[in-house]
Amino acid sequence: MDFFKYNILRLPEVASAHGDRIDDLIVYVHLLMAALFVGWLAFFVFALLKHRRASNPKADYVGARSHFSTYAEVGVAAIEGLLLLGFAVPLWAKAVEKFPEEKDALVIQVIGQQFAWNAHYAGPDGKWGHQDIKFASTTNPFGLDAADPATKDDVTTLSNEPFLLPVNKEVICKISSMDVIHSFKLPVMRVTQDAIPGMSIPVHFKPTKIGDYTITCAQLCGNGHSKMRGNFKVVDQAAFDKWFADKAKSGAAGASFE
């Protein structure tokens, strides 16, 4: 299976708990398509040869008597049904629909803006600072209210500054946008979600490998779209705790918006 994933399809590295099952499905779909391509092409060549003019000088008005093609069609539909009901739907139910409890997960807000990704964590107090659209600006994309004491220790990373995630812990990202439609794509996590202005759409995943990874924007969002590359790092819990405490202490969120 890995041979198909990484040598034939050349999928990127996978670093999330559910990612392997998405790759499995991608391989199954490609195998079915390859079988159809070869099978139908062989049938086409067979039909060209069998029904060539030289061996059939007179037209046959009855046509095919065998039910082979019907059985083949039903067989293909059955395999497609199996892929959809046996793999795709259960995977969607688990990897997309079934969220972990917020109390057991790291919850962050992510906002796309032309052309950067910004992230916002409730600080060590676990409370989100008050947010209002009237405070929102390019330097304060989350509309944080600097006067609210709960804002003081909130952690933000702005303008594609890398944000950190602890390894082997569920993460919930609530995705939104300041301006146009973007799409939050973490290729190694096998996560993609449109960022839509006026909506907060959650996605969840569990990073399983320490490393530095890329965020891309998967919706053409303007002339700087190709530069809308953010970064995030998956680190061990101790490194995360240290970074988080330092960020919270520096009062990044509270200070910069006053």
d(CA 75, CA 253): 58
Q: Tell me how many residues contact Cu ion (CB under 5 A).
A: 4
Q: Which two tokens stand for residue 177?
A: 């946008």
Q: Is the peptide bond before 244 cis (omega within 30 degrees of 0)?
A: no
Q: Which of 117, 92, 233 lies closest to 175 in space, CA to CA?
A: 117
Interface pattern 27-66 for Cu ion (x via CB under 5 A): ----------------------------------------
Which residue among 122, 221, 248, 253 contacts Cu ion (CB under 5 A)?
Answer: 221
Cβ of residue 44: shortest distance to Cu ion, in angstroms?
43
| Binding range to Cu ion, per CB under 5 A, among 27-35, 205-213, 215-223, 236-244 | 215-223
| 8-state DSSP, 140 | -
* 258 CB-near residues (< 8 Å, 6+ apart): 146
Which 178-207 positions form the footprint of Cu ion (CB under 5 A)? 182
d(CA 258, CA 254): 7
Q: Which of 221, 173, 224 lies closest to 200 in space, CA to CA?
A: 173
Q: Which two tokens stand for residue 250?
A: 């520096």
Task: Using the minimum distance from each CB to Cu ion, give the nearer residue, 163 or 244.
Answer: 163
Cβ of residue 92: shortest distance to Cu ion, in angstroms?
25
Interface pattern 154-183 for Cu ion (x via CB under 5 A): ----------------------------x-
Cβ of residue 158: shortest distance to Cu ion, in angstroms?
15
Task: Using the minimum distance from each CB to Cu ion, give the nearer residue, 160 or 208.
Answer: 160
Which 83-112 positions form the footprint of Cu ion (CB under 5 A)? none
Q: Which two tokens stand for residue 92?
A: 């969607």
Positions that interact with Cu ion (CB under 5 A): 182, 217, 221, 228
